[in-house]
Amino acid sequence: MIAEQLISDTIPPLKTSDSGLKALNWMDEFKVAHLPIVNHQEFLGLITDTDILDLNAPEEPLGNHPLTLIRPYVYATEHLYEVLKMVSRMNLTLVPVLDEQNHYLGNIGLRSLVEHFAGLVSVQNPGAILVLELNQNDYSLSQIARIVEENDTKILSLSIETATDSTRMELTLKLSREDIRPIIASFNRYNYQIKATFQQGEFSEDLRNRFDLFMNYINM
């Protein structure tokens, strides 16, 4: 999944001829704290709600004010993970997307980003969750996958969490079946430490409900 595939036309860019009041109204309408300013495909930067509130005359065109704009963006061919990194690092509510000629193509809103990421990690798919805790040196994806697949199950998604002050890691597996008791038994035979399991659809249903609530919150 690359940035170009995530672009949504829901949130339009501003022009320097637009007023600060118009920008604030759009921010309220689209539930964002940033908007891109674009003139003839040239991305000038992102303006924030704080920038606008600091203007002495917000009813005047934005181009009349000495603006200090941030210029975060991703290129159209960059991966979803790079978009997520940009959002996390700069606390953005949308990410501008440029082509190789640095022309503005559109933006990726937070809602669109969350929806696509949820699909990537199979949030909405039925199945159980299994969390393993192990030393980083003992991590072998091929062995873990073999144990799962020997029980007629597929790994739908996988995530790893590590701590900078520890050699331990947590491996979270989203699996394609809800009853994972045979898989648990197999991991126990191989002396894997199982930290948590969520099966029989209880966690999956809860996760779907939490995801729906989060998306409703973004859309408020």
CA 198 to chain centre: 23
pLDDT digits (tens, 9 = 90+) for 127-172: 888 999 999 999 999 999 999 999 999 998 888 888 778 889 999 9
What's the confidence (pLDDT) of residue 118? Answer: 66
Q: CATH 3.10.580.10 residue ranges in the chain?
A: 3-110
What's the confidence (pLDDT) of residue 188? Answer: 95
Query: Is pLDDT at 100 greater than 80 in this prediction?
Result: yes
Q: Is the dihedral of CA 35, 37, 38, 43 positive or negative?
A: negative
For the domain 129-213, what is the CATH superfamily, name and number? Answer: ACT domain (3.30.70.260)
Assign 220 a pLDDT band (cuts: 50, 70, 90).
very low
Instruction: For the chain, give the mean pLDDT.
Output: 86
Strand partners, 107: 8, 96
Assign 111 a pLDDT band (cuts: 50, 70, 90).
confident
What's the confidence (pLDDT) of residue 93? Answer: 92
CATH classification of 3-110 is 3.40.190.10, yes or no? no
The encoded tokens of residue 135 equal: 């030393």
Give the C-alpha separation, 38 to 15, whole Å.
Answer: 5
Give the C-alpha separation, 141 to 149, whole Å.
Answer: 12
What's the confidence (pLDDT) of residue 9? Answer: 84
pLDDT digits (tens, 9 = 90+) for 178-212: 899 999 999 999 999 999 888 654 444 555 555 55
Q: CATH 3.30.70.260 residue ranges in the chain?
A: 129-213
What's the confidence (pLDDT) of residue 108? Answer: 93
Query: Is pLDDT at 68 greater than 80 in this prediction?
Result: yes
What's the confidence (pLDDT) of residue 16? Answer: 95
The residue-averaged pLDDT of 36-41 equals: 94
- The residue type found at 206 is D
B/e letters for 135-146, b = 16+ CB within 10 Å, e = fewer, are eeeeeeeeebee
